[in-house]
Structures are given as C-alpha cells and as structure tokens.
Amino acid sequence: MDHGNGRTVGVHLTYDGGYLGPVGPFEVGVPWWSAVGVVVERVSAEVGVPVVVVRLVGVTGGEGGRGGHTVYHVEALERPAGRAARQPDAGTAALLGPAERRAGWATPEGLRAAVDWAERALTSAGRPVTGRAEQVRSWNLSGLFRLPTAAGPAWLKVVNPAFNAREAEAIALFGAADPALVPVVLAADPAHGRVLLDEVPGEDCWGPSEAEVADVVPRLVAAQAALAADGRAAAAGLRDRTPRALAAAVPALLDRLAAGAELTAEELAAARALAARLPALVEELTACGLPETVVHGDFHPGNWRSGDGDGGDGGPVVIDYADACLGHPVADGWRPRAFVDDERWAQLAGVWARAWRERVPGCAPERALELAGPLVHLGYALRYQEFLDHIEDSERPYHEGDPATEVRNALAALG
C-alpha cells in the first residue's frame, strides 16, 4: 500500500478491564492517525460488538500525523463472543497501563463518562439520542463524536482543559458580535474540557472560493474589532498570547530546544539574534494600530464550514476554538497563508487589510502582515511546545520536532 494514501493498523483490544488480545494488522485507506472512524468500523465488524478507540499507543513510520503503521488501544463496549481475557505480555501491559499526562477522555472510563454526559445533556435539551454515538476522531489534542438525534446530529468534542481555551466561552464572545459566525453550543462542561455543539451543515472550506473568503474574513474582523472596542477581549480571561507575551517567552523556549539539540549551532545563534530583535519588532507591529483582541488561533480554511452540502449558499461558520486567546489579530490574518495558493492568498490578504482599515481608520494592516511572519511562527513554536508538555509519550509523534521547525520557519520569514 502507498501509505501516502493509507496506513496499516494494529489494535490491542480490551473489555471491562480485561485484555482480549490483538486485532490486525489490517490496511485502511485513510492516512490520518486521528481518523479513527475507519478503525472503529473495521474492528467492530471483526469482533462482532461496538468498540471505541481509547488512544494511540504507537506509530512506526509515517510523518505529519499520517501514514506508516499505527497501533491503538480499543475498548469493546460489549463482551465479544469467543474472546476470553488473557494476560498481556510485559510490553503490551506497559502500553495499556497508566501514564503521566494522559488526557481525561483517553481511558475507557473517560470515554464512557464523556458520552454519557453528552447524552444526558441532549435529553435535558429535549433532543434525546436516537442511536449510538459515532466516534469520528481521536488524537492528542481532542476527541470527536457524532450523536444522532431526531433533530439532526449533535457533536461532542473533548479537549484537555489544562492547555486549551474554554470553547463555549470563546464561541460566546464571537457569537455576541455575529451569531451566524459560530456554531450553536448545546451544553458545556469546561472543567472536563467538554462541549456539545449542534451540527453545522456543509463542508470544510479546504480550497476556499473567492466568495467564501470575501464573506468570512470581514465578519471575523468585525467581531474582533467589536470585542476590542468594548473591552470584552481584555476581560475574557483568555491565555495571553499578545506580541509582548510571546516575545518574552521565546528565550526560554530556545533554551529548551538548545538543551535537546533540536537546532544546529548556526540555527540557534540566528534564533537568539531574532529573539533579541523581537521587542523592536513588537513596537513596529503595535505602531500599525490594530487592537489586541480575541484571536481564534487556528483560522485556516479547514476550520470554516460553508453551505448545506446540497448546493445551498449558507455563509461560512468558523469552528474549533480550542486555540482561542488574547492576541494580535494579524495571527488570524496570517494563518490561512500556508493553506491556499498564491492567488487566493493575495485576495485573502487584501480582504483582511481592507476590513481592518474600515474598522480602524488610519491603521496599517498591510504593514502588519509584512512584519508578522517571524512572530507568528514563533507563536506556533510556543503552542506546539505547549502541546508536547501536556501530552503523554505515546502521543508525542504528532508534534515531535514541530517547535524547532517553526523556529526555522520564523527565521525564513525574515526574508
């Protein structure tokens, strides 16, 4: 198999605290490690009972969260016929045993608790489920389930609250300015990193159209300008990822990367020189006149959903607010750059700049985009390091090396 288009999968199956042995290996046609729906479907068919993926326990080969051979811990939700519990070998027992920094949902008990919470919340909302929850995604940052109801699907998302925004609160901030910009929150449990969302019909806007860009970008800008103007952004209690806070955090990150020998001596020297220049860069960016505000944090087109999937013309809805923070809006303006071609980027940058000039007369958004590259990439580096600091070892392949890569990208962005 070409693992650019798929991967192989192995499974360690458990039920109610007992080990039932391996399943696989088998091939799947979806390369992404986090796309566990195909794993659930295959294993359920093989063992004859519904199952859920608890977590990734190992990867061989592949890169960038795709391809290679992935191994998962999978829990049967009912006792499979003909599979007796057995003693796992020492290596398997270690894989399935406790670990530091494990996500709250990445255990059989945690998954059941999250789904039970969502089902109770839907019942309270008058939308009881009409079938079993469908697991769609599971990885180091979040888990995602689709729950069927008579009024259409609802979506359960679980994240680690230790390093992610309280999504319902971030959605409420943007939604107060533009209700159509955000998904509908049905319930939230921020202490456990749970949010229950109504279905957003349509498709993710990978390869966005000119019309989609012209719609969603000015609406985001309008919401951010409103949040800055009335003081809600500063009072929201979000993580501080303003330019000054980022600049202050970079030297410690470089020390960590130096200790791990993740950068060459030449790269490290250049990065330290860049860090020394950051206060001046921050002042230049501040002089562009754009206000600090609530930043989505991952405003790429894959987090825009547009249309109703049947040729409708519904405007884009922005999803996934786990990275929301207090910051500079150029971080969102810059984010789509790596996801679109040159023509669409030129349009997007122009739309973003015009929208900000309309909201803040006299500001210089084009200059902000010119300046922002190094600081934005260093912000990504800090965020990836935050991921690595809060996930267990088996999940580290998702983001191992990403902080150093983003430091290199920051250096390249100097031009």
In this predicted structure, the answer to whether residue 256 has a pLDDT above a threshold of 50 is: yes
Supply the pLDDT for residue 313.
54
- Overall average pLDDT of the 348-370 stretch: 98
Q: Please report the pLDDT score of residue 210 as a whole number.
A: 96
Q: Are residues 89 and 132 in the same domain?
A: no
Nearest alpha-carbon partner for 129 in 110, 152, 158, 113: 152
Note whether 233 and 332 are within 8 A (CB).
Answer: no
In this structure, the answer to whether residues 316 and 179 fall within a common structural domain is no
| Domain boundary pick from 96, 124, 150 | 96
* Residue 309 banded pLDDT, cuts 50, 70, 90: very low
Domain boundary among 198, 233, 268: 198
Q: Is residue 102 part of a domain?
A: no
Lowest-confidence pick of 220-234, 337-351, 357-371: 220-234
Same domain (yes/no): 282, 330: yes
Do 73 and 140 belong together in one domain?
Answer: no
**pLDDT range class, residue 198, cuts 50, 70, 90:** very high
pLDDT reported for residue 310: 42
- Asked if residue 213 belongs to a domain, the reply is yes
How many structural domains comprise the chain? 3
Is 1 inside any structural domain? no
| Token pair recorded at residue 4 | 């650019």
CATH at residue 119: 3.30.200.20
Domain range for 342: 203-412
Mean pLDDT score, 183-210 = 96
Q: Is the pLDDT of residue 13 over 90?
A: yes
Domain assignment present for 48 = yes
Q: pTM of the prediction? A: 0.93
Residue 355: CATH number of its domain: 3.90.1200.10
Residue 103 belongs to a domain = no
pLDDT, position 143: 94
pLDDT of residue 233: 80
Distance CA 116, CA 134 (A): 13
Task: Determine the pLDDT at residue 6.
Answer: 84
Q: Are 401 and 385 in contact (CB under 8 A)?
A: no
Q: For residue 317, give the DSSP letter.
A: E
Instruction: Confirm if 192 and 111 have CB atoms less than 8 A apart.
Output: no
Whether 262 maps to a domain, the answer reads yes
| Residue 48 tokens, joined | 């004859």
Do residues 174 and 89 touch, judged by C-beta distance below 8 A? no
Helix (H) or strand (E) holding 159: strand 154-159
Would you say residue 312 has pLDDT above 60?
Answer: no
Note the pLDDT tens digit of each residue in 75-96.
999 999 989 999 999 999 999 9
| 383 has a pLDDT exceeding 60 | yes
Q: Are residues 308 and 214 in the same domain?
A: yes
Between these two residues, 335 and 311, which has the higher pLDDT value?
Answer: 335
Higher pLDDT, 128 or 235: 128
Q: Which of 147, 175, 198 is the last residue of a domain?
A: 198
Confidence of residue 314 (pLDDT cuts 50, 70, 90): low
**Amino acid 397: pLDDT:** 92
Q: Is residue 147 part of a domain?
A: yes
Kindly state whether residues 238 and 387 are assigned to the same domain. yes
Task: With a cut of 80, say whether residue 189 has pLDDT above it.
Answer: yes
Do 283 and 311 lie in a common domain?
yes
**Per-residue confidence at 218, pLDDT binned at 50, 70, 90?**
very high
Q: Both 83 and 172 in a single domain? A: no
Q: What's the confidence (pLDDT) of residue 2?
A: 38
Asked if residue 139 and residue 11 are part of one domain, the reply reads no
Residue 208 Cα distances to 8, 34, 299, 312, 316, angstroms: 31, 23, 13, 15, 10
User: Do both 263 and 365 map to the same domain?
Assistant: yes
Tokens of 237: 């209690």
- Encoded tokens for 82: 């003909």
For residues 293 and 368, membership in a common domain is answered with yes
Q: Over pLDDT 70: what percentage of the chain?
A: 97
**Quick check: is 2 in a domain?**
no
Is 353 in the same domain as 268?
yes
Average pLDDT value for the chain: 94
Contact 135, 40 (CB under 8 A): yes
